[in-house]
Amino acid sequence: MASILSAARTQKTPNIIAIENSVVDLQYDDAAGDAVLKNDLFSHLREYIESAGHAAGFEDNPRAGDMCLISAEAFDGGLIAFGKAKNLLSAADQTLDSVTQAEIVRTAVFGPAHPVAGGSLANTFHTLMNVRVNGASLVNGAFITAVGQDSYGKIFEQSLSGHIIAKERGRQLVCHVFPTGNDRILIATPSKTNPAEGHITTDLIDGKITADVSRIMIGGFLFFTGRFQDVMDKVIDDVSAIDEAQRPTLVMTAAAQSVAEQPLFRAEFNKAARAADLIVHANTGEFRRLMDMDTDWRVPFHPAFKGLKGQDLEAAKEAHTAYQDAKKQANIDAIASATALSAHIKETYGRDLKFVVTNGSREIYTITAEAPFGAHKPHKIDKSQIVNTVGAGDNFAAGFQLGDLYGLPHANSVRMGAELAASVIQIPSARLDDQKSQELTLGKLPHVLSGGLGYLTKEALGLAPLSPAAQPKANTPKPR
Whether pLDDT at 340 is above 70: yes
pLDDT tier at 456 (50, 70, 90 boundaries)? very low
**Nearest partner of 332 among 291, 280, 377, 368, judged by Cα:** 291
- Domain coordinates of the chain in residue numbers? 4-25+118-470, 29-112
Q: Quick one: pLDDT at residue 299? A: 86
Percent of the chain with pLDDT over 70: 80
Q: Which of 54-63, 202-211, 422-431 has the highest mean pLDDT?
A: 202-211
- Size (the chain), residues: 480
Whether pLDDT at 454 is above 60: no
* Chain segment 98-111, per-residue pLDDT in tens: 999 999 999 999 99
Report the alpha-carbon distance of residue 128 to residue 132 in Å, rounded.
9
Strand 164-168 and strand 140-147: pairing?
A: parallel
Report the alpha-carbon distance of residue 334 to residue 33 in Å, rounded.
45
Strand 136-137 and strand 132-133: pairing?
A: antiparallel
Report the alpha-carbon distance of residue 315 to residue 43 in Å, rounded.
23
Q: Quick one: pLDDT at residue 477? A: 40
CB of 395 closer than 8 Å to CB of 472: no
The average pLDDT across 433-443 equals: 51
| Mean residue pLDDT across the chain | 82
**Cross-strand bridge partners of residue 265:** none
Report the alpha-carbon distance of residue 210 to residue 279 in Å, rounded.
19
CA distances from 456 to 249, 342, 377, 464 (A): 28, 22, 7, 11
* Chain segment 208-266, per-residue pLDDT in tens: 999 999 999 999 888 888 889 999 999 999 999 999 999 999 999 987 888 899 999 99
Report the alpha-carbon distance of residue 409 to residue 404 in Å, rounded.
7
pLDDT tier at 363 (50, 70, 90 boundaries)? confident
Q: What is this structure's pTM?
A: 0.83
* CATH of span 4-25+118-470: 3.40.1190.20
Whether pLDDT at 53 is above 70: yes
* Chain segment 398-421, per-residue pLDDT in tens: 889 988 898 888 878 888 887 777
Q: Quick one: pLDDT at residue 218? A: 96
The average pLDDT across 275-285 equals: 94
Whether pLDDT at 382 is above 90: no
| 3-state DSSP percent of the chain in helix, strand and coil, to 5 | 45, 15, 35
**Cross-strand bridge partners of residue 222:** none
Whether pLDDT at 129 is above 70: yes
Report the alpha-carbon distance of residue 450 to residue 300 in Å, rounded.
47
Q: What is the DSSP string of 331-343?
A: HHHHHHHHHHHHH
